[in-house]
Structure formats: C-alpha cells, structure tokens
Amino acid sequence: MRLKYAILYVENVTRSIEFYEQAFGLQRKMIHESGDYGELDTGTTTLSFSSRRFMTELGKSPGIPVPSSPVFEIAFETPDVAAAVKKAQSAGATIVQEVREEAWGQTTAYVVDDSGYLVEICSPVSGVS
C-alpha cells in the first residue's frame, strides 16, 4: 500500500490551488470543471483540494482549520528554508514560526496557508539519507 493523496477541504478550490502554486511553486495537475476538486503535483503523493460545499453534499461535515490548535500539518522539504518562507509570505502565507535550526539537525519554519492550514517548510535532516 502507498499514500496516494491527501485532501484539504477549502472554500474555493481554484483560489487554494493558485495560492499553493505561488507560495510553494507546485504544479497544477488539474481542477475539475465543477471547481469542487483539484490536484497539485508534489511528487509521488498528490496534494488535493475539495470544496467544503461538495463534501457537505456528500454527507460529510468538514471542519474549519484552527491554526492555533492544528490537528495535522503538511510539510514541504527544501534545501533553502529561508527563501521558501519568504516566497510563501509574499504569496500571502502567515508566518507562525520563524526559520530556526533544530537540535536534530533540521532547519524548520511554519506558515499558515490562505485557508488556515499549518504548513511546515523544512530542510532534509542532516546526516540522514
């Protein structure tokens, strides 16, 4: 078994896709003609977005992310965390943890996306292949 995709529930799929393209340099795979579902290419796992409206139609009750008490995060790895944070911030992300060096040999920072989801921007852990 392998992780195929993760879906974030958002108000506006197209706006979220555009934000992730600008903030993190991801490539759009597709947006369904309904505008209720879209995907970004992130490597072997797809980052997907579904509208809260559509999920409600499917009988679900999607919650709203709360940045101050997140229940999960997504993480993007890059060799230049500071530059990636600056790019994300210029696209509208809110910094919640400035760039810092961690004791386990990794550089990390955290931002909140345009929908309120927590996003870690991190380097590879040094000494780990």
Inside any domain, residue 64: no
**Residues spanned by the domain of 19:** 5-57
pTM for the full predicted model: 0.92
Strand bridging mode 107-112 / 94-101:
antiparallel
69 vs 47, 53, 76, 102, CA distance in Å? Answer: 22, 23, 20, 21
Q: Identify whether 63 is part of a domain.
A: no
DSSP result, 59-126: T-------TTS-S--EEEE-S-HHHHHHHHHHTTPEEEEEEEE-TTS-EEEEEE-TTS-EEEEEPPPT
Q: How many domains does the chain have?
A: 2
Residue 86 included in any domain: yes
Tell whether 84 and 118 lie within a shared domain: yes
Query: How wide is the angle at C-alpha 114 spanned by C-alphas 10 and 12, nearest 5°?
Result: 35
- pLDDT of 126 reads 82
By the 8 A CB rule, do 109 and 97 touch? yes
Q: What is the largest CA-CA distance in the chain?
A: 48
Q: What is the pLDDT of residues 27-86, one digit of tens each?
A: 999 999 999 999 999 988 999 999 999 999 999 999 999 999 999 999 999 999 999 999
- Is the domain of 106 the same as that of 80? yes
Q: Is there a single domain that holds both residue 52 and residue 78?
A: no
Residue 87 and residue 49 share a domain: no
Residue 30 counted as domain residue: yes
Strand-pairing partners, residue 5, are 46
Query: What proportion of the chain, given as a percentage, has pLDDT over 90?
Result: 92
Q: Is residue 37 part of a domain?
A: yes
Q: Any idea what the CATH number is for the domain that residue 12 is in?
A: 3.30.720.120
Joined together, the tokens standing for residue 121 give 């921007």
- Answer yes or no: is 12 within a domain: yes
